[in-house]
């Protein structure tokens, strides 16, 4: 499969927004990255992305349907996306300028706990390591977690060969030859469980052709990921530097918390003021305390899935 969606230049456009009103006892929304020209994908490729997004939705939904915790639901969803090589996270992640992978991930429980890792070169599922940092360490943010640490937490390591796909090798070669601008394709999820608890999780290989050591918004709590019970949860994708400058995920929840703004208005204001105004593109999935879902982006496209009350909606 060649010609993935993140290989084209994505200038910000007007904000596209989809909203699902609360109704079910639980709710989940996920994204598989923003940006790119979907027109370059064949119908076979589009269905592969749709299948990957739907499978990830089902993984998280299964957790919520049996009364599980929002943190378990976003973890299950992101693990599924990390294992699917189509997306820029875990296996199939974007390559750095040196041709390797450096993976970032973070997770936040709406009760206030969080965990994050950055520049991980061998954690098979970065989101599981971020979660272990949250639950099994005294820390919040670890860079390049060691194999020994992973083994101590019972988590699997993998060699670089596991993560690097032929598609990504070719993509990097084309970009380094000047053919395409670096694009993105992170994965993430937000959930509200049937007890009203919120969570958010995000995982990425970063920007294609990024320098070794470059870290974007994904593992930064408040920039790419944020959750606060009683208000909202957000997972972002796009040009990480702009999301960090705008502290985008937190900015949305802060508008809700301090100004009483509704989710859709908060999302629109933050995207317009923190991203579009800076000429930066991206998108996000978000949820409020009632289970209302808002999926929005100012990039031409965003891969996402959520339930609109009647059926599963998959955006490609
Ligand atoms: N936000 C990610 C980063 O800057 C990239 C992406 O969303 O695809 O590392």
185 CA to centre of ligand 1 in angstroms? 7
167 CA to centre of ligand 1 in angstroms? 18
Domain made up of 16-307: CATH architecture: 4-Layer Sandwich (3.60)
165 tagged catalytic:
no
Share of the chain above pLDDT 70, in %: 93
- Cβ atoms of residues 83 and 89 within 8 Å: no
Binding site membership of 186 for ligand 1 (Cβ less than 6 Å): yes
Mean per-residue pLDDT over the chain, rounded: 93
pLDDT band with cut points at 50, 70 and 90 for residue 184: low
Cα separation, 274 vs 243, whole angstroms: 8
297 CA to centre of ligand 1 in angstroms? 13
pLDDT band with cut points at 50, 70 and 90 for residue 5: very low
Dihedral sign from CA coordinates of 189, 32, 134, 211: negative
Lowest mean pLDDT among 182-191, 198-207, 249-258, 298-307: 182-191
Binding site membership of 218 for ligand 1 (Cβ less than 6 Å): yes
Q: What per-residue confidence (pLDDT) applies to 181? A: 57
Binding site membership of 204 for ligand 1 (Cβ less than 6 Å): yes
The overall longest dimension of the chain from CA atoms, in Å, is 52
pTM over 0.85, yes/no: yes
Mean per-residue pLDDT for 193-215?
Answer: 97
Q: What per-residue confidence (pLDDT) applies to 35? A: 67
Cα separation, 17 vs 36, whole angstroms: 17
pLDDT band with cut points at 50, 70 and 90 for residue 42: confident
Cα separation, 47 vs 39, whole angstroms: 13
Mean per-residue pLDDT for 111-131?
Answer: 98
- What atom of ligand 1 comes closest to residue 238's alpha carbon? 7
- Cβ atoms of residues 165 and 92 within 8 Å: yes
Using the CB atoms, write b or e for 27-57: b if 16+ within 10 Å: bbbbbbbbbbbbeebeeebeebbbebbeebb
- Cβ atoms of residues 174 and 19 within 8 Å: no
Among 15, 75, 77, 186, which one carries the catalytic annotation? 186
Q: How far is CA 249 from CA 67, 283, 305, in A?
A: 26, 11, 19
3-state secondary structure of 120: strand
Binding site membership of 240 for ligand 1 (Cβ less than 6 Å): yes
């Amino acid at each position: 499969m060649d010609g993935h969606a993140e290989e084209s230049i994505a200038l910000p456009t007007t904000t596209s927004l989809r909203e699902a009103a609360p109704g079910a006892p639980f709710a989940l929304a996920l994204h598989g990255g923003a940006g790119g020209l979907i027109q370059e994908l064949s119908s076979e490729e589009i269905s592969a992305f749709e299948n990957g997004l739907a499978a990830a939705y089902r993984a998280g939904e299964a957790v919520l349907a049996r009364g599980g915790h929002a943190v378990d639901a976003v973890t299950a969803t992101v693990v599924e996306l990390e294992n699917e090589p189509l997306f820029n996270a875990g296996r199939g992640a974007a390559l750095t300028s040196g041709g390797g992978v450096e993976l970032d991930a973070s997770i936040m429980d709406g009760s206030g706990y969080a965990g994050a890792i950055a520049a991980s070169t061998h954690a098979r599922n970065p989101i599981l390591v971020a979660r272990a940092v949250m639950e099994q360490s005294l820390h919040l943010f670890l860079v390049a977690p060691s194999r020994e640490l992973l083994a101590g937490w019972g988590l699997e390591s993998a060699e670089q060969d596991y993560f690097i796909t032929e598609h990504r090798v070719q993509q990097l070669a084309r970009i380094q030859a000047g053919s395409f601008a670096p694009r993105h394709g992170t994965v993430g999820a937000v959930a509200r469980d049937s007890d009203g608890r919120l969570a958010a999780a995000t995982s990425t290989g970063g920007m294609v052709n990024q320098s070794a050591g470059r870290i974007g918004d994904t593992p930064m709590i408040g920039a790419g990921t944020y959750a606060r019970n009683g208000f909202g949860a957000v997972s972002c994708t796009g040009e990480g530097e702009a999301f960090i400058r705008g502290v985008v995920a937190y900015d949305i929840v802060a508008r809700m918390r301090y100004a009483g703004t509704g989710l859709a208005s908060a999302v629109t204001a933050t995207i317009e003021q923190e991203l579009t105004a800076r000429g930066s593109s991206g998108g996000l999935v978000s949820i409020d305390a009632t289970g209302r879902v808002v999926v929005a982006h100012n990039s031409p496209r965003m891969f996402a899935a959520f339930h609109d009350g009647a059926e599963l909606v998959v955006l490609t």
